[in-house]
Structure 1
Amino acid sequence: MGNCGNFFNLIIIFSVALITYNIIISANAPLKQDFPGPSNPSSNRKITIDPIIKMPTDLPKPQKKRLFHTAVTSSDSVYNTWQCRIMYYWFKKFQNQPGSEMGGFTRILHSGSSDNFMDEIPTFVAQPLPSGQDQGYIVLNRPWAFVQWLEQADIKEDYILMAEPDHIIVKPMPNLAVDEIGAAFPFFYIEPKKYETVLRKFFPEDKGPITSIDPIGNSPVIVGKESLKKIAPTWMNVSLAMKKDPEADKAFGWVLEMYGYAIASALDGVGYTLYKDFMIQPPWDTEVGNKFIIHYTYGCDYDMKGKLTYGKIGEWRFDKRSYDNSYPPRNLPLPPPGVPDSVDFRWQQYENPHCLPPLRLELQQELNIQKIH
């Protein structure tokens, strides 16, 4: 009986010693977190912690909007003016809708003097190039106008969307640029590799491979304001130099200034993410889908069955060049059944603010649109 008592005493002493040892070790050891989430970096599971048990500390916070400023260059011609008014009309429609990061808007008017639409459209008046400098290629005024605007204007936003008068915004647009990487639409006809020999005059081999030149123009592009301040003077000088070079002028024709911007970006080390969904160009692009801009640069010709007759004037047609000296008239005929979504949608979006139909009178008053006689 005495031996049994001694045995139980030994068991108790051993147990107490073991518990004491564990307490001492645990007090000096780091605590292990077995919950998933931010306190357990090794966990790849989603945060599923019951907040009553443990409240995570790194829940996503609402992201601050990264606003971009929309800028459109324009002459004071009737042709550019009616397009700018339509462009601004649809900009205003989507500017403050959910999902939009569209900030301010500026029409950069490179005619050198104000016009009758200064109160309707926010406008910066830039000086044109000296007489003869554009050599009849008026688009060369675009980079020079941007240089002036970036130097003189008080631009609140950190990003710039460069757009054109014949762009129609069809949905709220987010900022597609990411930090120092801009966003641009890839054009199939901008082919740096094909024209490497000519381009090397302006982008020497020591600047990098020819593939450093992105297949883009200056529009549509969303780029950081500070990056554009670097690019704009280079863009202007390269474009002027290319226009003076007979070989480059012949090779690039009406897209010369687009190549100028692509080269300038590469020279200044600004890269772009290429967004095919940035824009569509009817009639070749047939679906609007999730695109942000409709570019109506090409004429649209259809028969009354909705079949494209490109190269031949259709029974129904819309071509912006038909209205280079006058406003498009009220009540242009609707496209025939069967035309692609992009053409039909473009028609629905196309409403001349000079002669808005009754359903748009409220927006006409809001924009203080003045009728031209």
Structure 2
Amino acid sequence: MGCGNVFFTLLITFSVALITYNIIISSNAPLKQELPGPSRSSSSITVDPIIKMPVDKSRGGSGSKRLFHTAVTASDSVYNTWQCRVMYYWFKKMKETPNSDMGGFTRILHSGKADKHMNEIPTFVAQPLPSGMDQGYIVLNRPWAFVQWLQQADIKEDYILMSEPDHIIVKPIPNLSRDGLGAAFPFFYIEPKKYESVLRKYFPEEKGPITDIDPIGNSPVIVGKESLKKIAPTWMNVSLAMKKDPETDKAFGWVLEMYAYAVSSALHGVGNILFKDFMIQV
């Protein structure tokens, strides 16, 4: 028993040390805007048909900042509000650092009413879906909230970063989108090919191969504002249609709204550059 306890203690100590090391390394590593590829000199851009990853590394342009607006949808729950306050704190710290293309910030509050944190966090109040329409899946309010915000708010920046309350920004974020493509994090559990028969209800074959649907959700995604204005209403309608369909609802469960965004982006021809170092999941 004594040897077992010593071994268990050593195992726990080693695991904690390894996790701590990985966190330190990841927080110090720069979020690279350079993209993989054999050449920096080519002026053309090549896109992988599956992951939409450009192989040209040059940034192009005059080097001027392309600011993006960070938008976070939230409910009025105590927990969600606390997450937003923490996230906004780190947003402000990272915004002013070098290599940041971070512009304004908005909490899109889809409770339909203001709260006491309006003066602390820049907030747009969106109306929730009509009672019962979300069928207990509160995330369905997210695309509807974005539709309202994009239609009614005065957004200065030309790009939008869609984020979530539980995201903590640990380094300055450059604008990773380019050439009409969004920039997104690839989720291993978003598998369009696996669920092709289900997704063809919303992305018919004449729209293109199933690989046109990227393995993403709506967050984190940096995308052009005008592109998102086109995507958002479709995202809302596809989300509602998926939730109403028993087969789709059963297949996708809690990630249904993520699939809906991926489908909607593909329907509008907006591909995404996939950055595995965009986010760390813990």
Q: Helix, strand or coil for the counterpart of 1:169?
A: coil
- Which ranges in structure 1 are unaligned for 5 or more consecutive residues? 1-43, 45-59, 283-373
Query: Deviations for 1:243-267, whole angstroms, at most 9, x for unmatched residues?
Result: 0000000000000000000000011
State how far apart, in whole Å, the 1-side matches of 2:114 and 2:210 are: 41
State how far apart, in whole Å, the 2-side matches of 1:61 and 1:237 are: 36
State how far apart, in whole Å, the 1-side matches of 2:141 and 2:264 are: 16
Change (3 A) 1:166 1:64: same
Change (3 A) 1:61 1:135: closer
Q: What code does the residue aligned with 2:227 have?
A: S
Percent same amino acid at aligned positions?
Answer: 82
Q: Does 1:146 align with 2:146?
A: yes
Question: Contact 1:128/1:145 (CA < 8 Å) preserved in 2?
Answer: yes
State how far apart, in whole Å, the 2-side matches of 1:121 and 1:61 are: 33
Superposition pairs of residues 1-373 of structure 1, within 5 angstroms: 63-282=63-282
Runs of 4+ in structure 1 deviating by more than 3 angstroms, as ranges, are: none
Query: Deviations for 1:110-148, whole angstroms, at most 9, x for unmatched residues?
Result: 000000000000000000000010000000000000000
- Which ranges in structure 2 are unaligned for 5 or more consecutive residues? 1-40, 42-59
Q: What code does the residue aligned with 1:244 have?
A: K
Query: Deviations for 1:68-94, whole angstroms, at most 9, x for unmatched residues?
Result: 000000000011000000000000001
Larger Rg: 1
Q: What code does the residue aligned with 2:169 have?
A: I
State the match for 2:33 in structure 1. Answer: none
Name which structure has the greater RCO, CA cutoff 8 Å, separation 6+: 2
State how far apart, in whole Å, the 2-side matches of 1:76 and 1:242 are: 25
Question: Contact 1:179/1:224 (CA < 8 Å) preserved in 2?
Answer: no
State how far apart, in whole Å, the 1-side matches of 2:253 and 2:122 are: 32
State the match for 2:55 in structure 1. Answer: none
Aligned length in residues: 224
Query: Deviations for 1:213-270, whole angstroms, at most 9, x for unmatched residues?
Result: 0000000000000000000000000000000000000000000000000000011110
State how far apart, in whole Å, the 1-side matches of 2:253 and 2:62 are: 47
How far is the alpha carbon of 1:179 from its aligned partner?
3.0
Q: Name the Cα RMSD after superposition.
A: 1.2
Change (3 A) 1:61 1:243: closer
Q: What code does the residue aligned with 1:163 have?
A: S
Q: Helix, strand or coil for the counterpart of 1:179?
A: coil
Q: What code does the residue aligned with 1:178 have?
A: R
State how far apart, in whole Å, the 1-side matches of 2:98 and 2:206 are: 46
State the match for 1:293 in structure 2. Answer: none
How far is the alpha carbon of 1:63 from its aligned partner?
1.4
State how far apart, in whole Å, the 2-side matches of 1:61 and 1:186 are: 27
Q: What code does the residue aligned with 1:215 have?
A: P
